[in-house]
Amino acid sequence: MHWADVIARKLKETGGPHRIATGITPSGHIHVGNMREILTGDLVHRASREMGVDSTLYYLADDFDPLRKVYPFLPPEYAEHVGKPLSEIPSPEGGGKTYAQHFLEPFLRSVEELGIRPVVLLSSESYRNGSYAGATSILLDSRDRLREILNRVSGRELPPDWFPYNPKCPSCGRIDTTRAYEWSPPYVLFRCGCGHEGKADTRTDDGKLPWRLDWPARWFWLGVTCEPFGKDHAAAGGSYDTASEIARSVLGMEPPIPVVYEWIQLKGKGAMSSSSGVVVSGVDMLRMTPPEVLRFLIARTQPGKHIDMDPGLGILNLVDEYDRYEENFYSDEKSDDPDDMKRTYMLSLVGRAEDREKRGRLLNVPYRHLVTLTQLVSEMDDLVSMIRRTEGIDELDEASLDRLMHRKACVDFWLERFAPEEVKFRLYDDPPEEEVEKLDDGQFSALEAMFIDFQGIPWEPGSIHNTIYEGSRSRGIDPKVTFKAFYRILLGQDRGPRLGFFLSTMEKNEVLRKLRLALGR
């Protein structure tokens, strides 16, 4: 059974309705690692709905959190905004938007592209409209109990002046320099480091709860019953442990069923981090892969297992693996875990699986091949003609053509931004003289042999590949010598795409013409 179905079944057993909550602080670029949270929530939500569970998915943006520091991607002048809520400082690009909007809006567009339809809530608005007021009042009335819980569960000793509320100073606009000292319902009295003294109305956005209290307060007013969150919050004595005890013993509710997920590691750079700038943004991911492939990246892996993300050659492997799952979905072939493969594919779809089944199987051009084809021809019509010839088909149906156009756009972006140099090439119209002159006797003999052997073979990848190997070896030539000779006269480099497929994308007579020029015939 797929992991999302296992969690959904547990939710069904506990009754309902269920409210699944996800969220993040929009302090920087929202990356693929952050995407794991909302996608995990959506997969559980979708599985629950399919089981007949009354389920709602929420996305809570913590835009009322303060800017912690001047991150590497910000200009130095942002020092004046440190400590102010993200919802109340300007966007790095101006234009009248807030800092939070600058990072949230592209993320929310990506979420829609992924087929996720959450109820979006902003913490700034939730404080302003009084959603937090009831829980805040209960927590402030129980501050001695809170101190005991936080000290005992977290293992840390809170300072003597600790107060379970962070007022926002109306004078300097900061949250991190205020010190509350008295609870006089519904107000909290405070002093600020800027010299201002005042009172904050806890029924509005005059201030906010610290994170370890904000989280259970959010569960309380929203009625959260299930929540995915990163492993950092799940550590012993961490946020979830303290929030759970506060929920039970102070707010009188059961904490949500946890779904703890591991990090997505960026190859060679470790865990992604918005604050450090070590990211592949969700927007960029959706520009270099189809949305169902990003869903697949999360759906195929248990939440508790980390994911290694390689935006280079790993993207080609990821898309090809998704296509393999799609082939399995439409076939009757047996595999080690056919039910999970089919279920993973269904949960990866942006639309409904029933619609995909009715539409039928689409033409799949392997992503690696598409990378080659896209660099050979720039116009879509030329690409379609080449695919029709290499695949041996008369016409592409509309759905397959739409997929091809989308994937070509993704490949173009990937080649521009993330592709390693080893997969990039430019095909020469004619073999350059300087490259021909570099050929040694062995390479020249290899090309002569291929000019002869190519004459009478079917012009398709497998036949070309076998001819290169068999023809080279039968003459005592290492096939690697033949490969290198072709790459030198065609691309001016020692490596290139898979040669059998690469040559098959060109007309046979054109390849023979290039060989003839290189051999001086």
pLDDT digits (tens, 9 = 90+) for 382-437: 999 888 887 778 888 888 899 999 999 999 999 999 999 989 999 999 999 999 99
Distance between CA 73 and CA 94 in Å, rounded? 15
Question: What's the angle, vertex CA 123, arms to CA 121 and CA 228, rounded to 5?
Answer: 65
By the 8 A CB rule, do 234 and 258 touch? Answer: yes
Average pLDDT for residues 324-343, to the nearest whole number? 80
Residue 511 lies in a domain: yes
Same domain, 414 and 442: no
Distance between CA 304 and CA 93 in Å, rounded? 37
Distance between CA 25 and CA 208 in Å, rounded? 14
Domain extent for 441: 433-519
Q: Say if residue 129's pLDDT is above 90.
A: yes
Distance between CA 116 and CA 413 in Å, rounded? 24
In the chain, the N- to C-terminal Cα span, in Å, equals 64
Average pLDDT for residues 10-17, to the nearest whole number? 93
Distance between CA 370 and CA 232 in Å, rounded? 39
Residue 118 lies in a domain: no
The CA-based dihedral angle spanning residues 422, 425, 430, 433, taken in that order and rounded to the nearest 10 degrees: -40
Same domain, 463 and 492: yes
Residue 67 lies in a domain: no
Burial class (CB in 10 A: 0-12, 13-18, 19+), 381: exposed
Amino acid at 15: G
Residue 371 lies in a domain: yes
Q: Which of 423, 447, 467 is the last residue of a domain?
A: 423
Residue 142 lies in a domain: no
Q: Which conformational region is residue 130 in: left (phi greater than 0), alpha (psi within -120 to 50 degrees), or beta?
A: left
Same domain, 411 and 452: no
pLDDT band per the 50, 70, 90 thresholds, residue 30: confident
Same domain, 438 and 483: yes
Q: Enumerate residues 6+ apart whose C-beta is below 8 A from 471.
A: 449, 450, 453, 482
Tokens representing 27 are 């302090």
CATH number of residue 493's parent domain: 1.10.10.350
Position of tokens 């799952």?
325
Question: Can you spell out the DSSP letters for 64-102?
Answer: TSBP-S--TTS-GGGGGGTTSBGGGSB-TT-TT-BHHHH
Same domain, 447 and 391: no
Average pLDDT for residues 176-204, to the nearest whole number? 97
Question: Which strand (E) or helix (H) includes residue 103?
Answer: helix 99-113
Residue 8 lies in a domain: no
What pLDDT score was predicted for residue 356?
63
Q: Enumerate residues 6+ apart whose C-beta is below 8 A from 416.
A: none
CB count within 10 Å of CB 94 equals 8
Give the chain's radius of gyration (CA, Å): 29
Tokens representing 155 are 């293992």
What backbone phi and psi angles, to 5 degrees, belong to 494? -85, -15
Q: Which residues of 33-72 are buried (b: 16+ CB within 10 A; e: fewer)?
A: bbbbbbbbbbbbbbbbeeeebebbbbbbbbbbbbbeeebe
Crossing angle between the packed helical segments 338-348 and 313-330, to the nearest 10 degrees: 110
Tokens representing 15 are 């009754």
Residue 322 lies in a domain: no
Distance between CA 137 and CA 172 in Å, rounded? 25
Same domain, 457 and 512: yes
Reported residue count of the chain is: 521
Question: Can you spell out the DSSP letters for 247-305?
Answer: HHHTS-SPPPEEEEEPPEEETTTEE-BTTTTB--BHHHHHHHS-HHHHHHHHHTS-TTS
Tokens representing 135 are 């829980």
Same domain, 393 and 437: no
By the 8 A CB rule, do 50 and 6 touch? Answer: no
The CA-based dihedral angle spanning residues 314, 319, 322, 324, taken in that order and rounded to the nearest 10 degrees: -100
Name the domain count of the chain.
2
Tokens representing 141 are 């009335």
Helices (H) and strands (E) in the chain, counts: 22, 13
- The 10s digit of each residue's pLDDT in 472-518 is 999 999 999 999 999 999 999 999 999 999 999 999 999 999 999 99
Q: Say if residue 360's pLDDT is above 90.
A: no
Q: How many CA atoms lie within 13 A of 243 on its CB side?
A: 26
Same domain, 416 and 440: no
In this prediction, what percent of the chain has a pLDDT beyond 90? 81
Q: Say if residue 457's pLDDT is above 90.
A: yes
Same domain, 447 and 506: yes
Same domain, 411 and 450: no
By the 8 A CB rule, do 32 and 264 touch? Answer: yes
Distance between CA 237 and CA 239 in Å, rounded? 7
Eight-state DSSP code of residue 197:
E
In this prediction, what percent of the chain has a pLDDT beyond 70? 95
pLDDT band per the 50, 70, 90 thresholds, residue 31: confident
Same domain, 437 and 515: yes
SS (H, E, C) 310-361: CCCHHHHHHHHHHHHHHHHHHCCCCCCCHHHHHHHHHHHCCCCHHHHHHHCC
Q: Say if residue 277's pLDDT is above 60.
A: no
Same domain, 444 and 494: yes
Average pLDDT for residues 166-178, to the nearest whole number? 97
Distance between CA 25 and CA 62 in Å, rounded? 5
Assign 227 to helix, strand or coil: strand
Distance between CA 22 and CA 32 in Å, rounded? 15
What backbone phi and psi angles, to 5 degrees, belong to 272? -70, 145
- The 10s digit of each residue's pLDDT in 77-118 is 999 999 999 999 999 998 889 999 999 999 999 999 999 999
Strand partners, 119: 58
What pLDDT score was predicted for residue 34?
85
Q: Enumerate residues 6+ apart whose C-beta is below 8 A from 117.
A: 57
pLDDT greater at residue 358 or residue 233: 233
